[in-house]
Structure 1
Amino acid sequence: MSDDHTRVQEFFGARAADWDRKFAGDDPAYAAAVAGLGLREGDRVLDAGCGTGRALTPLRAAVGPSGVVVGVDLTPAMLEAAVRAGRDRDGRLLLADVAALPLRSQSLDAVFGAGLVSHLPQPAENLRELARVVRPGGTLALFHPIGRAALAARQGRRVTPDDLRTEPNLRPLLAGSGWHMTSYVDEDDRFLALAVREG
């Protein structure tokens, strides 16, 4: 396992038990972001870096009982917290790395990634791997329940121009990874970038 993976596991592993309680008010923002994906009954969707599975319930509601919901995370403690919360009823949970997904090419209609981009060790390659598993015309939502400035303030730091999530950085990063950005919102109460898989 790489140093990047170890750091991610240590960071999230230490926070898994309190994660849902600490961010309990975020559920409506998750539901609104999932709505932005435009999922239909029967669609197949991946929650990449699913953590404690906060998005699994609205994703299941969007695709219905005939749809497929898969949650992938690198941190065992996060997946264990998802199971304790009963969210494994809404989707299949896999301990896996988004850099090497155990999924067939073009097998999905959409990918949802909450707080994902800033934790990707090789963003261009990792976004290409997400593109691999999505059919042409499928969608990607990169989400955070608060915007970049609000998150930086919460963490006691300032927003910098080299942040991957700025629109001038994210748009070409996605374009070089098989995605076309269709919308970008960075407000205090949410960050949401939507993209379509190029065919």
Structure 2
Amino acid sequence: MPDPTDDTHQAELARTREFFAARAADWDARFPDDGPRYAAAVAELALEPGQSVLDAGCGTGRALPLLRAAVGPGGAVTGVDLTPEMLAVAATRDTGATLLQADCARLPLPDATLDAVFAAGLISHLPDPAAGLRELARTTRPGGLLALFHPIGRAALAARHGRQSTGAERPEAAKEGGDLRAEPNLRPLLAATGWRLTAYTDTDDRYLALAERTD
């Protein structure tokens, strides 16, 4: 497994921070209609009052109020992001969440303490997706849930960027630069990192993969 402290990993993290730092101030304004889709995705986690949930790659914190409402005042909500500018926006939301600047491959969290992880757009920005998913598994109790979410599906996102989606045809496509979010690629990746894929939706108006932490 690549070392999350190596130069290549750190260089990729720096590029991610630079990309999002320049966009933090107007990020929410660019995507004003995403709220209901976030709410629907959080609802799929079926969180209960008093639970502990992580928003991994929380960005400007759009999911934080929804997660707080789900776990209630007795629950714990933590938002983690690489980019200080994104976290500064998230801090303006009155959610009572703990906000941490951290690499998702090196979370400052104890083992097996989370009941659920919500991750919007995260997997595409991980320098090493396997390392990131493995670290999320480390911090999640057996039976805990992971939601990999994006407010639009892979094809719609690819079209937004002027390209076609790839990787849906066969698992080995991941080794050829295919989209790791495609179900044939994502299922074995999750299985290898401590998760079991339980549900998968990829439509124009939503991408949501749900997984359960295995023993």
Q: Report whether the alignment pairs 1:51 with 2:67.
A: no
Is 1:172 paired with 2:178?
no
CA distance in 2, matches of 1:16, 1:125: 26
Deviation at 1:92, TM superposition (A): 1.0
Q: 1:167 corresponds to which letter in structure 2?
A: E
State TM-score, norm by structure 2.
0.90
CA distance in 2, matches of 1:98, 1:166: 21
What TM-score comes out, normalization by structure 1 length? 0.97
State the alpha-carbon separation in 2 of the partners of residues 165 and 133 from structure 1. 22
Deviation at 1:88, TM superposition (A): 5.0
Distance in 2, Cα, partners of 1:125 & 1:74: 16
1:85-104 matched pairs, under 5 angstroms: 86-87=92-93, 89-104=95-110
Contact 2:68–2:95 (Cα < 8 Å) also in 1: no
Structure 1, unmatched stretches of 5+, are: none
Aligned counterparts of 1:65 and 1:49: Cα–Cα separation in 2: 22
Name the residue aligned to 1:39.
Answer: 47
Q: Provide the identity percentage.
A: 66
Q: 1:183 & 1:109 partners in 2: Cα distance?
A: 18
The aligned counterpart of 1:121 is 127
Is 1:138 the counterpart of 2:154? The answer is no
CA distance in 2, matches of 1:28, 1:89: 18
Would you say how many aligned residue pairs link Structure 1 and Structure 2?
197
Q: Supply the AA of the counterpart residue of 2:58.
A: C
CA distance in 1, matches of 2:166, 2:78: 33
Q: 2:212 aligns with which of 172, 175, 196?
A: 196
Can you give the 5+ residue segments of structure 2 that lack an aligned partner in the other structure?
A: 1-6, 168-177
Larger gyration radius, structure 1 or structure 2: 2
2:75 to 52, 57, 67: 67
> Please, which of 185, 197, 202 is the counterpart of residue 181 of structure 1?
197
Asked if structure 1 preserves the Cα contact closer than 8 Å seen for 2:150 and 2:206, the reply is yes
CA-CA distance at 1:89 after TM superposition: 2.8
CA RMSD of aligned residues (A): 0.9
The residue number in structure 1 matching 2:113 is 107
Per-residue CA deviation, residues 2-21 of structure 1 (Å, 9 max, x unaligned), is 11101100111111111011
Please name the residue that 2:15 is paired with.
7
